[in-house]
Chain A
Amino acid sequence: MRGPVMVSLLPGITLFGIFFLVPFFVLVATAFARWGGLDFAWVGLDNYQRMFDDPVFFKAFGNTLFYAAASMFIQVPLGVAVGMVLALRPRGWRALRTIIFVPFVISGAAYAVIFSMFYNPRSGLLNNVLGALGLSGDRDWLFDTATARWAVAGTFVFIIGFVVVLVMAEIASIPNEIYEAASVDGATTWQQLTRITLPLLRNVIGTAILVRLLVDIGMFDLVFILTAGGPDDATATLALYAYRAYLNGEWGYANAVGSVILAVGLVLIVTVRRAFRIGERAL
């Protein structure tokens, strides 16, 4: 019995080894090397030393955390709120759910192109609307260091379809008897939402935050297409910073940055899982 089970696991283990373990060990090992394809030399902690001496790395790190915070404090709460409202099944909720979900299935690259037109200071919709309202309509949202990060975050924080669907599915699984009992006890709709529904969404909110954070710490395509990390690295992310090093033939350095991204991801997974007690039963 044990032999066949092991054999049946072999394909999965093989694929996991080839496509995860090998790249993982290459990344971690070469982070301690100067490696540009043409040369290879072990350099100890030099890559990390250089990274921590580079102000651009800290800018990229700060920006990555900023985008993660935008997801955590704007995107997820907004998605949860909308999901809870739609779960009450107001008139037209099905159509609304579909409309809200559509942006989630549009590729990041396409989204970036659409928003680069939206933010265009000469012909973009945003400045034209602001101008029509009598407000200053000549700001270069993406290439002004004061607004660039916010403009980039503005492209994704309203893509809440994924969170909305998660929340609605979770609410649908809450036994109706709980609401009936609360109703008999005189609880208002608001009280039911805040004292029954919201606490029972703990698991799914934690999961949504975790998924978004993991997407955000590897954010690349949106930023690359919108601003390429500029102006003056005001929008650069860790993934973009690593990509620049890779383009420059500094593969070992890029992998050192990649290992930092991995470590940050690990810390986030552990922290969020603990904070939201993901996996523990809510009822």
Chain B
Amino acid sequence: MSKSRMTTTTATVAIASAAAVMAGVAGCGSDGGSSASDSSADTSGDSGEIVITCATCQESPTDPFLQYNYEAAQRFNEEFAGTYRVETIENANAGSSDDRLQYYQRLALADDLPDLFQLNSGEIKALQETGRLHDFASTLENDDEWAATFHDQAFDALMGAGGEIWAIPQQRDAIGIYYNTELLENAGFAEFPATWDEFEDLAAELRSQDKVAIAMDGDWATMLMWVNLIGTQPGGAEFLREGIVGSDNWGDDPTVVQATERLRDWHVEGYVNADAFSGEFQNAAAPYLTEEAAMVANGPWFVNTNLKTDSAAPGLYEKTGYAAAPGWSEGDRGAVVVSGAGWVSGTTDEQKLEAVETFVKFVSSEDEVLRQATATGANPPVQVDAAAAEEADLEPLATGLIEEAAESTYRYPHVRVHGPAGFGAAWKNLWPAYVKGEMATDEFLQRLTDDAMSDQTG
């Protein structure tokens, strides 16, 4: 090859390569699909329709809440066609996960939060620090009629210290303990135990029959029982509401110490499934669904996502009961009551806020909350007409527990929803070692407090 030809070839390759890089860089810049604000940039098109983005309105074959949101958004779009439209953002972090908060924090930093999305109260506490969340307080103040439809305390877990209302609740549920009536009867219990002592008698009997008394997972389901053991003692509910975010050592509270040791002892005595530490709820669900375990704690959504699926033993739904937690003494039962996720908004645009407010009013209307309750098993955050509720054929297990919880001595929040953001990771890390006897109760609770309150690194 001659020198001049080689030079020409090299120059051609160089120019082509440079062009390819420029095209690549330009290509990177033109990908607006993942940007919340890009897709919502056209606030109104020629038609004058106001478009808002929703990051939790995508179709989902596995998550009934997301699926309901998707269908509700479609109905909203039909009803308000030409005026408002919800545009769905496909979001891998739409469902509850450890990464969800980080995802929205990154969007907040980029001033690119979606117009509509959902967070739980712990995440709201963290994200409101970015100053990017819309405060719904004035919306509720300006619409007394709408505000009055919500249950008392429906906003408690969704409010800021200054009275801000960062989210409109999607549900208000009591969380209890599912039990297999047949297995309990075989163990000599015609009714669900009223006290923790009776509960342990039942567990011992089930153990002697080679049954797991109560299935746990080292995470959600285990924490529910921890919370139940704390919340059903005098002062326990106060700890779960306030002490858990204010105290610098939970081991100073005797209710927490007693609850923690009692829960540990259930594992030691063999009342709990051996694989109760992975943090996977499936490890708790599977023994119950196969009738290996007699009880499991979870919310009303367990019915649609587990009990009524093919994973459950035939006829299990029919023989399942749902009860509030036993008490430390007769008559002192209790239940976890949660608002769950709430609708939040990251927009500051007046027109979009108008659309957002219209949407949250739409999904909290009686028709929609009943539709949601039917689809997800979760109960409405607003009061609904008794006749309408009956006609909607809501899940009887869930509605029964709501009534039972209302009559219980104690009602308290779940630590995963109301506690410090680092609680889940700290618990999953320390709980197995504590149960296996590698640290004493005071050391466990001190470290749990420190890790949950300060950071997750240690």
Q: How far is the CA of A38 from the CA of B14 in the complex (A)?
A: 42
> Given A57, A116, A230, A253, which contacts B432 in the complex, CB threshold below 8 Å?
A230
- Judged by a CB distance under 8 angstroms, whether B439 is at the interface is yes
Residues of A near B11 (CB, < 8 A) are 4, 7
Q: Determine if A232 and B278 form an interchain contact, defined as CB atoms under 8 angstroms apart.
A: no
Q: Which residue of chain A lies nearest to B20 when distances are taken between CB atoms in the complex?
A: A11
> Given A55, A116, A121, A246, which contacts B458 in the complex, CB threshold below 8 Å?
A55
> Given A14, A116, A140, A250, which contacts B274 in the complex, CB threshold below 8 Å?
A140
Q: How far is the CA of A114 from the CA of B17 in the complex (A)?
A: 44
Residues of A near B126 (CB, < 8 A) are 249
How many chain B residues have a CB neighbour from A under 8 Å?
A: 44
A228-B10 in contact given A7-B18, A145-B433, A248-B455 (Cβ < 8 Å): no
- Judged by a CB distance under 8 angstroms, whether A123 is at the interface is yes
When each residue 1-41 of chain A gets 1 if its CB lies under 8 Å from chain B and 0 otherwise, what string results?
A: 10011011011001100000000000000000000011000
Q: Which residue of chain B lies nearest to A242 when distances are taken between CB atoms in the complex?
A: B457
The minimal Cβ–Cβ distance linking B294 to chain A, given in whole angstroms, is 15
The minimal Cβ–Cβ distance linking B434 to chain A, given in whole angstroms, is 8
The interface centre, meaning the residue of A5, A10, A15, A143 with most chain B CB atoms within 10 A of its CB, is A143
- Judged by a CB distance under 8 angstroms, whether B392 is at the interface is no
> Given B102, B130, B430, which contacts A231 in the complex, CB threshold below 8 Å?
B430
> Given B287, B425, B436, which contacts A228 in the complex, CB threshold below 8 Å?
B425
Q: Determine if B275 and A38 form an interchain contact, defined as CB atoms under 8 angstroms apart.
A: no
The minimal Cβ–Cβ distance linking A22 to chain B, given in whole angstroms, is 13
Q: Determine if A5 and B21 form an interchain contact, defined as CB atoms under 8 angstroms apart.
A: no
Residues of B near A4 (CB, < 8 A) are 7, 10-11, 14
- Judged by a CB distance under 8 angstroms, whether B277 is at the interface is yes
- Judged by a CB distance under 8 angstroms, whether B13 is at the interface is yes
- Judged by a CB distance under 8 angstroms, whether A54 is at the interface is yes
Residues of A near B15 (CB, < 8 A) are 7
Q: How far is the CA of A38 from the CA of B278 in the complex (A)?
A: 33
> Given A8, A142, A231, which contacts B429 in the complex, CB threshold below 8 Å?
A231
When each residue 431-447 of chain B gets 1 if its CB lies under 8 Å from chain A and 0 otherwise, what string results?
A: 11100101100000000
The minimal Cβ–Cβ distance linking B281 to chain A, given in whole angstroms, is 14
The minimal Cβ–Cβ distance linking B447 to chain A, given in whole angstroms, is 9
Residues of B near A55 (CB, < 8 A) are 458
- Judged by a CB distance under 8 angstroms, whether A178 is at the interface is no
Q: How far is the CA of A234 from the CA of B21 in the complex (A)?
A: 45
- Judged by a CB distance under 8 angstroms, whether A245 is at the interface is yes
Q: Which residue of chain B lies nearest to A246 when distances are taken between CB atoms in the complex?
A: B102
- Judged by a CB distance under 8 angstroms, whether B422 is at the interface is yes
Q: Determine if A228 and B129 form an interchain contact, defined as CB atoms under 8 angstroms apart.
A: no
The minimal Cβ–Cβ distance linking A61 to chain B, given in whole angstroms, is 12
Q: Determine if B457 and A245 form an interchain contact, defined as CB atoms under 8 angstroms apart.
A: yes
The minimal Cβ–Cβ distance linking A204 to chain B, given in whole angstroms, is 33
Q: Determine if B14 and A8 form an interchain contact, defined as CB atoms under 8 angstroms apart.
A: yes
- Judged by a CB distance under 8 angstroms, whether B53 is at the interface is no
Q: How far is the CA of A54 from the CA of B430 in the complex (A)?
A: 16
Q: Determine if B433 and A231 form an interchain contact, defined as CB atoms under 8 angstroms apart.
A: yes
- Judged by a CB distance under 8 angstroms, whether B456 is at the interface is yes
Q: Determine if B457 and A248 form an interchain contact, defined as CB atoms under 8 angstroms apart.
A: yes
When each residue 216-237 of chain A gets 1 if its CB lies under 8 Å from chain B and 0 otherwise, what string results?
A: 0000000000001111111000
- Judged by a CB distance under 8 angstroms, whether B109 is at the interface is yes
The minimal Cβ–Cβ distance linking A16 to chain B, given in whole angstroms, is 11
Q: Determine if B21 and A54 form an interchain contact, defined as CB atoms under 8 angstroms apart.
A: no
Q: Determine if A120 and B14 form an interchain contact, defined as CB atoms under 8 angstroms apart.
A: no
Q: Determine if A37 and B106 form an interchain contact, defined as CB atoms under 8 angstroms apart.
A: yes
> Given B21, B279, B431, B455, which contacts A15 in the complex, CB threshold below 8 Å?
B21
Interface residues of A in 134-184 (CB under 8 A from B): 138, 140, 142-145
The minimal Cβ–Cβ distance linking A142 to chain B, given in whole angstroms, is 7
Q: How far is the CA of A37 from the CA of B109 in the complex (A)?
A: 7
The interface centre, meaning the residue of B105, B273, B425, B432 with most chain A CB atoms within 10 A of its CB, is B432
Q: Determine if A11 and B21 form an interchain contact, defined as CB atoms under 8 angstroms apart.
A: yes
Residues of B near A10 (CB, < 8 A) are 14, 17-18, 21
A228-B458 in contact given A4-B10, A11-B18, A247-B102 (Cβ < 8 Å): no
The minimal Cβ–Cβ distance linking B349 to chain A, given in whole angstroms, is 23
- Judged by a CB distance under 8 angstroms, whether A89 is at the interface is no
Q: Determine if A232 and B439 form an interchain contact, defined as CB atoms under 8 angstroms apart.
A: yes
Q: Determine if A38 and B10 form an interchain contact, defined as CB atoms under 8 angstroms apart.
A: no
Q: How far is the CA of A10 from the CA of B439 in the complex (A)?
A: 58
Q: Determine if B273 and A122 form an interchain contact, defined as CB atoms under 8 angstroms apart.
A: yes
- Judged by a CB distance under 8 angstroms, whether A241 is at the interface is yes
Q: How far is the CA of A197 from the CA of B457 in the complex (A)?
A: 47
Q: Determine if B275 and A120 form an interchain contact, defined as CB atoms under 8 angstroms apart.
A: yes
Residues of B near A120 (CB, < 8 A) are 275, 278, 283
Residues of A near B130 (CB, < 8 A) are 38
The minimal Cβ–Cβ distance linking B92 to chain A, given in whole angstroms, is 14
- Judged by a CB distance under 8 angstroms, whether A260 is at the interface is no
Q: How far is the CA of A144 from the CA of B435 in the complex (A)?
A: 10
> Given A229, A231, A245, A249, which contacts B436 in the complex, CB threshold below 8 Å?
A231
Residues of A near B99 (CB, < 8 A) are 247
Interface residues of B in 252-283 (CB under 8 A from A): 273-275, 277-280, 283
Residues of A near B20 (CB, < 8 A) are 11
Q: Which residue of chain A lies nearest to B15 when distances are taken between CB atoms in the complex?
A: A7
- Judged by a CB distance under 8 angstroms, whether A244 is at the interface is yes
When each residue 248-260 of chain A gets 1 if its CB lies under 8 Å from chain B and 0 otherwise, what string results?
A: 1110010000000
- Judged by a CB distance under 8 angstroms, whether B156 is at the interface is no
The minimal Cβ–Cβ distance linking A12 to chain B, given in whole angstroms, is 8
- Judged by a CB distance under 8 angstroms, whether B85 is at the interface is no
Q: Which residue of chain A lies nearest to B28 when distances are taken between CB atoms in the complex?
A: A18
When each residue 390-433 of chain B gets 1 if its CB lies under 8 Å from chain A and 0 otherwise, what string results?
A: 00000000000000000000000000000000100100111111
When each residue 97-125 of chain A gets 1 if its CB lies under 8 Å from chain B and 0 otherwise, what string results?
A: 00000000000000000001000111100
Q: Could you jot down 21 A-B contacts, CB within 8 Å?
A: A4-B7, A4-B14, A7-B11, A8-B17, A10-B17, A11-B20, A121-B274, A122-B273, A122-B274, A140-B275, A142-B278, A228-B279, A228-B425, A229-B429, A230-B428, A232-B429, A246-B102, A247-B98, A247-B456, A248-B456, A249-B105
Please provide the 5 A-B residue pairs with the shortest distance between their CB atoms, ordered closest to farther. A56-B458, A7-B14, A232-B433, A231-B432, A8-B14
Q: A1-B7, A4-B10 are in contact. List 4 more A-B contacts (CB 8 A).
A: A7-B14, A142-B277, A144-B436, A145-B433
